[in-house]
Amino acid sequence: MNKFMKLSGIAAAVSAALVLTAGSVQAYEAGDFILRAGAATVDPSVDSGKLKANGSTVLNAGAGGATTVDVDSNTQLGLSMTYMLDSHWGIELLAATPFSHTIKTKGDLGSLGKLADVKHLPPTLTVQYYPMASDSAFQPYVGAGLNYTTFFDEDFKGSNKAAFRSLELDDSFGVAVQAGFDYALTENLGVNAAVWWIDIDTEATFKHATNGTKYKVDVELDPLVYMVGLNYKF
């Protein structure tokens, strides 16, 4: 959350600087659609539970401690669409091309290294508030809503393909909050930057390929999602 607070402070400073130069270029009114597109990065803040085998925590003879997992970041094309209910309130749907992440092990079974690859889609629906006058070129906004994340194409990597099978990650429902801004360049076109914090929790299960041991680990991903790009009002 410290990272989120730091980003919020930077965004506030940028917002304050831009608002001083904002002009009356673009108006947000009831019935407007705002399409946003750009580079979106999902940066998980992983809090992993302990890997369990047949219900018992995996503890080997090594000094690495209980086995946990970590997940890397990924950048894809982000898309969102906002429908303005009036000049201050809108509803946004966030979408993207599928994000791809590598799951890595830590602790006693850290030797497994890059355990598997997995893809996910995190559609997120938020209600947004725009505090500025409708004809301001600078339009900061905040939002809150719900996220649904679905995981698919789970695939073990390297030698782990032969050692394990049947990897599945449970889908997730959670809350989401966001902050961002649009800055108009013309009547319809502008630049956009936004950040989301999303509550994503999942349970990963898989089996040993030969002896059938059932493995399970609970993971809180809770990523920050950053997007920078363009917006178009129509």
The dihedral built from the CA positions of residue 165, 159, 151 and 48, taken in this order, carries a sign that is positive
CATH of the domain at 164: 2.40.160.20
Q: Looking at residue 27, what is its pLDDT? A: 81
| Distance in angstroms (rounded) separating the CA atoms of residues 172 and 169 | 9
What the block records as the tokens of 54 is 């047949």
Q: Looking at residue 25, what is its pLDDT? A: 63
Q: Looking at residue 60, what is its pLDDT? A: 61
- Per-residue pLDDT of the chain in tens (234 residues, 90 and over written 9): 454 454 455 445 444 444 444 444 668 999 999 999 999 999 999 999 999 989 988 776 555 578 899 999 999 999 999 999 999 999 999 999 999 999 998 876 667 789 999 999 999 999 999 999 988 999 999 999 999 999 999 999 998 999 999 999 999 999 999 999 999 999 999 999 999 999 999 999 999 999 989 999 999 999 999 999 999 999
Structural domain count of the chain: 1
Q: What is the pTM of this model?
A: 0.84
Q: Looking at residue 146, what is its pLDDT? A: 98
Residue 200 has phi, psi (to 5 degrees) of: -125, 115
Q: Which domain holds residue 218?
A: 2-233
Q: Looking at residue 26, what is its pLDDT? A: 64
